[in-house]
Homo-oligomer: A and B are copies of this chain.
């Protein structure tokens, strides 16, 4: 239903029944856009303004009155003005008594004021029923009808009936009201449109830092070393070869970092013998952004897959292949099939494919619409069991890729180990600790602690 915004406009001419009048205080951009939309949906609109001279911009069908006159004409008053100017409402308190006052304002910064704009409004006009709504919708979206991101209108307020009236208007405009409870939620609703992916900040900064580190590491080992010792210019490795080293490393490290806090929390709970003491703050925050960490890891894994699959098309690779074939042909020799090497190569690829496949499954189940259709038991099964299986497969993929190169001294250029060896550290730690925690002697007390049991139950006096 939510795609044909012009159909909604088309309703206006058919309107046979009268909707109740809505008053809008303020003739700024948002007030006018809302007025337009309301008129299109069949509502009579009255603007309240200091300057009652009617500008061309005000919709033709709207009335233009002083604040007091406009407020008297309607049961619902939308205050499309900025918080700084709210005090003009104080003299109107008597007229606004018992009316529904809708606060649509936004701030410029998160938590700019100690109390939310809507709560401040409710203090100024104690007789009115204040409802917070519409602040997540932009004027531009209202006018153009392209409401993709903002169909949801968060509504909150202390008066149930007032809230219901506002939610009916929201629905009439073709938007989806979401009841967020009492006016206490206004602060959160006002902060919402100011956020820019707050939960993604840490994972993205972390992965950028790691990317930079591993980029220079690989640059030194793969490009500069060859240039210094072999006088070969492999600078074009920067385009594909080095990214294809960095991506799997980051995917593996970030995936391990998704499961590390859970393991740390388990150790902490075992050590403390209770689950009722709060985790340190950093651990709490880390646990809350695990989903984002995992999705960033999946992004790197997908890039790794694309970079790898593109390999046979690269001109460098086809040159290398044909050179080696030609040199064999010229030497008149054919190498026999090395079965061990075929095993290693195939199983390394197969582990990677299965790991990536499970990783994508994990990603799909984290889509909001999928995870909403899944119960708690199913969600934990997927995220924990399948997640650990993914980590095991990806770690094994990297280990088999290394093969017997781990001990070969040629892998240590300038005493620097291959980058993928560094990437194995955290995953191996996580898997080993998790393996230890699965033993009954640790698993049983841990399960009991998580069900609420305490080693030293402390009753207060």
Contacts and interface: CB of A to CB of B under 8 A. Distances in A.
Given A306-B353, A319-B337, A329-B330, A138 B376 contact: yes
B316 A196 contact: no
A276 interface: yes
A64 to B, nearest CB: 10
Interface in A11-33: 11, 14-17, 19, 28-29, 32
Contacts of A199: 3-4
Nearest to A312: B312
Given A146-B290, A316-B337, A326-B334, 15 more contacts: A1-B152, A29-B451, A55-B459, A56-B460, A149-B375, A193-B375, A195-B377, A235-B343, A236-B342, A239-B350, A240-B350, A303-B357, A313-B345, A315-B342, A315-B344
Contacts of A180: 1, 171
Most central of A17, A139, A306, A459 by chain B CB within 10 Å: A306
Given A1-B178, A303-B357, A310 B349 contact: yes
In the assembly, how many copies of this chain are there?
3
A179 B184 contact: no
Interface string A305-349: 111111111111011011111111110101101110111111101
A210 B407 CA distance: 42
B188 A179 contact: no
A258 to B, nearest CB: 12
B329 A325 contact: yes
Given A193-B377, A327-B334, A319 B342 contact: yes
Nearest to A307: B353
Given A188-B11, A377-B194, A322 B315 contact: no
A259 interface: no
Given A29-B451, A171-B179, A345 B136 contact: no
B335 A319 contact: yes
Contacts of A374: 149
A309 B171 CA distance: 48
A392 to B, nearest CB: 17
A154 to B, nearest CB: 6
A411 interface: no
Contacts of A361: 299
Given A171-B180, A196-B381, A334-B327, A141 B376 contact: yes
Most central of A237, A378, A458 by chain B CB within 10 Å: A378
